[in-house]
Amino acid sequence: MRSEDPGVVAAMRPAQEVMRLARLGSSFPTRLSFMRTLIRRLASEAGEVTRPVWEIDDEGFGRAVYTVQLTGHEYSLVAFSTPLAPENRTDRVIAEAWDSSYVLFDGMPTTDDLDRLEQAVPRQESARYRSTELCLSRANKSVRLFEHVVSSLASGHQPDQSMLASVGYLMRTTAVYGNGKFGISDRSNFADRHGMEHPFRAEMLSVWLIRGFTTDLVNHVAHRRSPDAAVSLDQSLQRQLGIGNATGLGMAPFLVNHPILFNNWMTARETAIARVRVIKVADSRSVRRVADLLSRARRHVAQWQVDDVQQTERIATLEDQLGEVVALLDHSWFNESTPWDRLMIQAHQWSLETQELLAALLVEAHPDLVDDLAADMASVRPPCLDATRTVEELGEQLAETFSWALDIDFDSVSESAQFWYISEEKLEPRLGLRYEETGAELEQPLDIARQVKALAGDLSNTERAQSIAAFLCDYPEHRNAALRVQTAATYPYAEIRDNLISECCLPIDMLRAKLAFFGACKFDPKSDRWTRITLYQGAPLFGDIADPAPGFDADDWWLPVLAAS
């Protein structure tokens, strides 16, 4: 990570504030989110998407290939659309059939590649793959909206805008796999390429290309259904459609298992916020931009409709408090110095949702100040234990970074109520109830706070000058905890500062934190363990990147607002 001005470092929010589950679970996307950085890169290169293969029948079944150049390398999305019986339609990860399936291919696939992939990709994890396959995905139609759009276009008119707004996508993915999953290419094989060095770049490219395929598919089926009368989906409506996604527990432990990577994400975001906070005087351009973005955010929040009662209440509170923000930011507010810092301080009177939306908004309004931070968000270095250090040094680091864990009573039922394990059926993370379900003996080591407290107990009975290596010879069970402590001492945002096996731990908070870094918005919780989201809603289309209209800004789609008839 690059060195920062001391004033910026001093303005960064401390880890003990931002690394709590409740705040992480109130995250919003920023211009550093991975979808945004991908689209910026493509737009800077005027990346052209071509469609060299379109072998789709009248009913919309068959195969297609989309190819794009990204910083000197060619990547191809291979898409397969197949019939799916209604009884087999499910968003659950245990599904074995889908409306469509995809692979991101390294280069341009040959006919032999396509034939091989056509046999493999619709089977997803049941098949075998090669190193040319970078990502694997599948998606199901939003059947009601898909048919409505096709029928409307076939009859010669555009679909109902309010229906588009209420759903937001023609298809939703149930998984986007990368990094060696099921035999596809390890990320290390291509992560050092220009254009692919950012986190989840291949996955985000796959989803953007899938989005283009879904709108091409409805246009194709509509024109085949009614060749003389059909019209194509209006481009402004196409931009309103993203790709839906159903995300569950499988994603939650990622943030715990990749502490340095998570630290780098958080450090970039918090540095961006701090850079804005130290601005002494806000210029008129940034003041107008903040006002415009605040107006957009209010309209976006008004369109954020979910069934979950708790999230509905949070949205209503956010909507009311954004009105208070507008009233606060009158001309007199800018007569004093550091207006954005004062706003962030003032925001502590409001909900976490409001605080985090304002932080994201301020970052959005200052691209020239923050966009360079996206280059620092990857990590290829795993945590490494320095066993030459002393017990005394480890104890000091523990007291500084994990003091919050030492007061937790892990003997109580409430503080040890849950356990993480890996499902034998799907090899995916799951969460069990320790005192109600069997399987706790298979617990995964995500109980970081409990491990560190146990480490602290044995450290207190050990000679302070002893090396960590010698200590671990006597207490090998503490190696992981010692590594976590050392890592947190060097990377302050590496550790979630909450008990992840408490009955109060809500995995949905970890899901939202990670998905916000992807660039997701309009989180739609279906329980405390899974959520629906929309990706790339409002984002540029293929043509907007290769041949943008005069005045079109491919980077202005934060918190999109949808037109409704």
Is 95 a residue whose pLDDT tops 70?
no
Half-sphere exposure (CA, 13 Å, Cβ side) for 124?
Answer: 19
Task: Specify whether the CB–CB gap between 483 and 392 falls below 8 A.
Answer: no
Q: Each residue of 532-558: pLDDT tens digit?
A: 999 999 999 999 999 999 999 999 999
Average pLDDT over residues 259-276: 97
Q: Each residue of 324-346: pLDDT tens digit?
A: 999 999 989 999 999 999 999 99
Enter the tokens of residue 183: 């035999």
Write down the pLDDT at residue 89: 75
d(CA 48, CA 67): 8
Q: DSSP assignment, residue 422?
A: E
Q: What percent of the chain shows pLDDT beyond 70?
A: 98
Please, which pLDDT band fits residue 475 given cuts at 50, 70 and 90? very high
Burial class (CB in 10 A: 0-12, 13-18, 19+), 281: exposed
Q: Which residues contact 487 (CB under 8 A, 6 or more apart)?
A: 259, 260, 383, 494, 495
Please, which pLDDT band fits residue 91 given cuts at 50, 70 and 90? low
Average pLDDT over residues 63-82: 97
Average pLDDT over residues 44-64: 97
48: three-class secondary structure by DSSP: coil
Place of tokens 């879904």: 214
Query: How close are the terminal C-alpha atoms of the chain, in Å?
Result: 48
Place of tokens 């459609």: 241
Please, which pLDDT band fits residue 92 given cuts at 50, 70 and 90? low
Helix (H) or strand (E) holding 203: helix 201-225
Average pLDDT over residues 154-172: 93
The amino acid at 55:
E
Write down the pLDDT at residue 565: 47
Enter the tokens of residue 164: 């588009």
Task: Specify whether the CB–CB gap between 536 and 242 falls below 8 A.
Answer: yes
Nearest to 147 by CA among 55, 60, 81, 25: 60
CA 554 to chain centre: 20
Burial class (CB in 10 A: 0-12, 13-18, 19+), 112: exposed
DSSP per position, 423-448: -TTT--EEEEETTTSS-GGG--S--H
Query: CA distances (Å), 316 to each of 188, 306, 351, 527, in order?
Result: 44, 11, 11, 19
Q: DSSP assignment, residue 344?
A: H
Write down the pLDDT at residue 93: 62
Buried b / exposed e along 545-561 (16+ C-beta atoms within 10 A): bbeeeeeeebbebbbbb
Write down the pLDDT at residue 252: 87
Average pLDDT over residues 86-95: 70
Region of 525 on the Ramachandran plot (φ > 0 left; ψ -120 to 50 alpha; else beta)? beta
CA 378 to chain centre: 14
Write down the pLDDT at residue 380: 75
Please, which pLDDT band fits residue 125 given cuts at 50, 70 and 90? confident
Region of 426 on the Ramachandran plot (φ > 0 left; ψ -120 to 50 alpha; else beta)? alpha
d(CA 480, CA 513): 24
Q: Which long-range contacts link 61-67 to residues 24+ away (Cβ below 8 Å)?
A: 63/114, 63/118, 64/213, 64/216, 65/108, 65/109, 65/114, 66/209, 66/212, 66/213, 67/108
List strands edge to edge, sheet with 100-106.
49-56, 62-70, 73-81, 100-106, 133-141, 169-177, 242-247, 531-535, 521-525
Is 564 a residue whose pLDDT tops 70?
no
Strand partners of residue 272: none
d(CA 485, CA 398): 6
Q: Each residue of 505-516: pLDDT tens digit?
A: 999 999 999 999
CA 390 to chain centre: 38
